[in-house]
Amino acid sequence: MAQISDPLRVFRTTPMTEQEISSSNELQQHIAALREAIETSVGKRIQTPKDFDYLSQVIEERQGEHVSVSTLKRIWGYVPSSSMPRRSTLNILAQLVGNRDWDDFCNKDFSCSTDENAQTVIEREVKDPSRKRATTITAILLVGIVIALSFIIRARTTPASLILHAGQTFATVDDYLDIFDAHDRQTPWSVPVPNHPGLIIWGPRYHHPDWHNEGNADSLMPTITEYWQPADTTGFTPAAIAIRNADNYLRVTSFAELRITFMVGLPGKPSYTFLGVYCLDESCSDTARLVWKRIATECDLNHLDLLNQLRYKP
């Protein structure tokens, strides 16, 4: 597997515990099987924002239940999430593919349940001794796997679908804002990343008539020069324009912003293109113009906190 050149992948310094690996693996296997069953049932792969809209509508039509698009995106891994799906949501999705509920889909395998207690486990084993034997064998195998993995696993890697790569395109602003769960769309060209102070989702237009956004489009803009010079200067004196640029410079330098950048209007690319993560190049910037330099070409959506390690890199 090729290594990522930018320091945006997080590595765990201690092995996962046996309980973490076994419980997480089993639940993820069942959820993966549920996703596959649903895609088979609806007759299409669920991969794009429109697919999730479609699936949410199918659930309402077939089940009379509502599962939000954002919830479906988290279950499919389209957006990062650290929480497990709700039991009620899993029940609805299991019913979509002809099961009574989530447990029925799991063939009443207690290990996949998200909220059952030990008494329920004991009752199932008493009713079905063969299940106990099968579970014991499975547990032995898992312990062997855990022991082997404990010597080699030192990291939790991120699925490729949760890493943005320079050059990826998005049809609309909503398509890329949704993956950050950024719901404030009042200024869609500049949206703070929720719960991450100083991280901005930036959507500049190449050669904007007022902000210009100049740079080398052929190499996906390793730097972006930004300055405010309105196309229509009616009512603006040179002094007023200079003051606005100076204010912008002082604001940006005060907050040490990092910008996760999606640019629209690049030559031959009518949609929004992910360019990477940018910080201000203070050595080239002044009160007349800002120069943004790319410091990472990939962005790990599961570990946005790591971007802070790049904030003050030269």
User: What confidence score (pLDDT) does residue 157 get?
Assistant: 44
User: What confidence score (pLDDT) does residue 273 get?
Assistant: 97
pLDDT in tens, 55-104: 998 898 888 889 988 889 889 888 776 677 888 899 999 998 888 888 88
pLDDT at 125 over 50: no
Using alpha carbons only, give the angle 61, 66, 71 rounded to the nearest 5 degrees. 125
* Same domain? 125 vs 183: no
* Same domain? 102 vs 172: no
* Same domain? 183 vs 262: yes
Choosing from 102, 118, 152, the residue where a domain stops is 152
In a domain, 257, yes or no: yes
d(CA 128, CA 115): 20
In a domain, 210, yes or no: yes
User: What confidence score (pLDDT) does residue 153 get?
Assistant: 40
User: What confidence score (pLDDT) does residue 191 get?
Assistant: 92
In a domain, 1, yes or no: no
Residue numbers of the domain that contains 73: 18-152
* Same domain? 25 vs 118: yes
* Same domain? 123 vs 204: no
pLDDT at 51 over 80: yes
What tokens were used for 6? 């930018």
- Average pLDDT value over all residues in the chain: 79
Choosing from 128, 152, 176, the residue where a domain stops is 152
What tokens were used for 154? 């030192």
Percent of the chain with pLDDT over 90: 36
* Same domain? 305 vs 175: yes
**First vs last C-alpha separation in the chain:** 29
Q: What is the pTM of this model?
A: 0.52
* Same domain? 172 vs 257: yes
User: What confidence score (pLDDT) does residue 182 get?
Assistant: 85
In a domain, 3, yes or no: no
In a domain, 220, yes or no: yes
What tokens were used for 1? 């597997």
User: What confidence score (pLDDT) does residue 11 get?
Assistant: 34
Mean pLDDT of 10-17: 41
Q: How many structural domains does the chain have?
A: 2
Q: Lowest mean pLDDT: which of 1-5, 42-46, 107-111, 159-163?
A: 1-5
In a domain, 92, yes or no: yes
* Same domain? 168 vs 300: yes
Confidence bin at 144 (pLDDT 50/70/90): low
Q: What is the DSSP string of 121-185?
A: HHHHHHH-HHHHHHHHHHHHHHHHHHHHHHHH----PPPGGGEEETT-EESSHHHHHGGGT----
